[in-house]
Amino acid sequence: MAPPNPKVKAAFRAMTNFGIHESKVKLVLEPCKGHLKRKFIKECWSKCGCRNHCGNQIVQQELPKGAFVCEFVGEILTVKELHERNKARKYTLPILLYAEWGSGVVKDNQPFCLYAASYGNAARFINHRCLDANLIEIPVEVESPSHHYYHIAFFTSRKIEAQEELTWDYGIDFDEDDQSLELFKCKCGSRFCRNIKRTNRMVRSFTDTRQIGILT
């Protein structure tokens, strides 16, 4: 049966006259139902009459403390798969999925970490900052009650100004002596930077408690 739209009908006729089979033409010409119509939002800015005192400024605004920013997306790998990937090269710390949290046992075939070297989202571009980063990662259980797999979601640990760089603490121990890990020289600039040799290692005790009450 020919499509009802007159323009499509004409194209249909032309194409079938050209010798293309009816079923193929229908597949090509049927209007797409899956695309959203793109509209845009016009936000107020410094030169509007409102002088930045209205609510029509979502994208430009600072983020309040405790706001959800994004998820960390990557391939879900088991321990075995991670070792396979890293046979040829050193790896940066994978994002652990807190598999079997509590018991500390992760079986070879269970989800172990998120690996974003090949596939990921904007979260893989977030740089590290020791201790006083403005984002914190929280494991979120969505669909799996088995405690093998969590989504890793970033929330703001404090108010973040517009244009401020987003950072999170990768949890790296820069004193680590694991030859398979590719550690970088940290340039986070934090006064708590763990990559600076200190005599006073009190900083470590802050690190250990950083997740406790940070969103309160």
Ligand X SMILES: C[S@@+](CC[C@H](N)C(=O)[O-])C[C@H]1O[C@@H](n2cnc3c(N)ncnc32)[C@H](O)[C@@H]1O
Task: Return residues touching ligand X (CB under 6 A).
Answer: 92, 124-125, 127-128, 184, 186-188
Q: How far is the CB of 14 from ligand X (least distance, A)?
A: 49
Tokens representing 90 are 């050193």
Q: How far is the CB of 97 from ligand X (least distance, A)?
A: 17
Measured from the CB atom, the residue of 101 and 206 that comes closer to ligand X is 206
Q: How far is the CB of 160 from ligand X (least distance, A)?
A: 17
Measured from the CB atom, the residue of 12 and 169 that comes closer to ligand X is 169
Q: How far is the CB of 170 from ligand X (least distance, A)?
A: 7
Whether 160 contacts 134, CB under 8 Å: yes
Q: How many CB atoms lie within 10 A of CB 76?
A: 14
**Rounded (10°) angle between helices 22-29 and 6-17:** 140
How many helices (H) and strands (E) the chain has is answered by: 4, 8
Whether 82 contacts 93, CB under 8 Å: no
| Consecutive H or E run containing 26 | helix 22-29
Measured from the CB atom, the residue of 66 and 171 that comes closer to ligand X is 171
Measured from the CB atom, the residue of 106 and 188 that comes closer to ligand X is 188
